[in-house]
Amino acid sequence: MAVIQTKQLAKEYGKIRALKGVSLDVQPGEIFGLLGQNGAGKTTLIKVLLGVISASDGEASVLGQPAGATAVRRRIGYLPEDHRFPDYHTAASLLDFYGALLDVPGRVRRKRIPEVLELVGLKGRMHSKIRSYSKGMKQHVGLAQAIFHDPDLIFLDEPTDGVDPVGRREIREMITRLKQEGKTIFVNSHLLGEVEMICDRVAILQRGELIRIGDIASLTRQQGTYHLGLAEGDSLPLDELRQLGYEIQSLGGQRWEVLLNGSLSIDPLVSLLVQRGLRLRHLVEKRQTLEDLFIATVDAAEPGVDDYRTPRRQGERSRNIRHSEDYR
């Protein structure tokens, strides 16, 4: 049974259609990434799944119950973007407070607090005031409160936002450990490199519509283009391969890029190399980055809109999707 499932989910704010018939599913134990620009509908979708707002139409279920059901909320952890914790708390007192709100028994809270803070790397500062914490430490506290009550499903909204490279790596490792424990994790992030490293599947929202969904390997595979390498001393029979319809470009040394045209497959090329007694050392289908996929997908959905590669006005700085605030 899917942990999250939506069917033709729609949400309208007056004349604004924030979600337009979104259908997706998230399976148990996977890390699922939600991508999209500002205004794409990401926050609206998360709010519907959390039960903060109601859908205008369609269906949404979480952990086998209608989204927002009271019994389900206790099984969900949530790290919001731009969270603000009372800075007079320490990490320990904050977790104790939130644990009490969730009816976690006192003896369980006392046992869990040092365990969870050790997991997020804050045990040594557990009695320091949050006002003394760095941005990265505050993000770790946010993760601690999201997982403190041992939820089955965890929503993470920009979990590595404002965190330095070391901190981002620690958070990725933490998320991976949670997956290994059987948790299902729903990640919303504009840092596409981070998403690519940890997510099993991703969905791309554009103006309230789901325009792409799938696993990372399949989505980033650049079909029809291969990188090929031969052993030292072997020569690629370029003329024969080009007569077969392959486009080939040297990458230097003993490596080439092979482009398949039409319905041509890579198999005849491999067969020819074997017949010639050539030693194939490398053959892999070329991949694009998740960032490349995102930009190409959004451009295809709305040609000429939000061109990320050139400034709109003279003097306007080109935007980089990894760092721009526009993609939260």
Determine phi and psi for 104, rounding to 5 degrees: -75, 125
Determine phi and psi for 117, rounding to 5 degrees: -70, -30
pLDDT digits over 144-191, tens only?
999 999 999 999 988 887 788 888 888 899 999 999 999 999 998 877
What order of strands is seen across the sheet that includes strand 221-230? Answer: 247-252, 255-259, 221-230, 280-287
CB-CB contact of 208 with 176 (8 Å) = no
Burial class of 189 by CB neighbour count within 10 A (0 to 12, 13 to 18, 19+): buried
The lowest-confidence range among 61-65, 104-108, 235-239, 286-290 is 286-290
Nearest-angstrom CA–CA distance, 40 and 19: 8
Amino acid residing at 223? Q
Two tokens at 50? 């959390």
Nearest-angstrom CA–CA distance, 205 and 307: 17
In order, the DSSP letters of 175-205 are HHHHHHTT-EEEEE-S-HHHHHHH-SEEEEE
The lowest-confidence range among 37-41, 115-119, 152-156 is 37-41
Give how far Cα 234 sits from Cα of 227, 237, 281, Å: 16, 9, 11
Burial 282-291, CB ≥16 within 10 A → b, else e: eeeeebeebb
Of all helices (H) and strands (E), which one includes residue 21? strand 16-26
Q: Which residue has the higher pLDDT, 319 or 129?
A: 129
CATH architecture of 4-217: 3-Layer(aba) Sandwich (3.40)
Q: Which residue has the higher pLDDT, 147 or 195?
A: 147
Percent of the chain with pLDDT over 70: 88
Confirm or reject CATH 3.30.70 for domain 223-287, answering yes or no. Answer: yes
**What global pTM score does this model have?**
0.73
Nearest-angstrom CA–CA distance, 32 and 246: 37
Nearest-angstrom CA–CA distance, 163 and 161: 6
Nearest-angstrom CA–CA distance, 296 and 194: 19
Instruction: Tell me the mean pLDDT in the region 189-197.
Output: 81
Can you list the alpha helix ranges (DSSP code H) found in 31-125? Answer: 42-50, 70-73, 91-101, 106-119
Nearest-angstrom CA–CA distance, 225 and 247: 10
Nearest-angstrom CA–CA distance, 148 and 63: 19
CB-CB contact of 120 with 140 (8 Å) = yes
Q: Which one, of 287, 267, 263, 284, lies nearest residue 275 by Cα?
A: 267
What pLDDT does 313 receive?
Answer: 40
pLDDT beyond 70 at 327: no
pLDDT digits over 3-38, tens only?
999 999 999 999 899 999 999 999 999 999 998 887
Portions of the chain given CATH number 3.40.50.300: 4-217
Q: How many CB atoms lie within 10 A of CB 253?
A: 9
Can you list the alpha helix ranges (DSSP code H) found in the chain? Answer: 42-50, 70-73, 91-101, 106-119, 135-147, 165-180, 192-198, 216-220, 238-243, 267-275, 290-301
Nearest-angstrom CA–CA distance, 268 and 211: 35
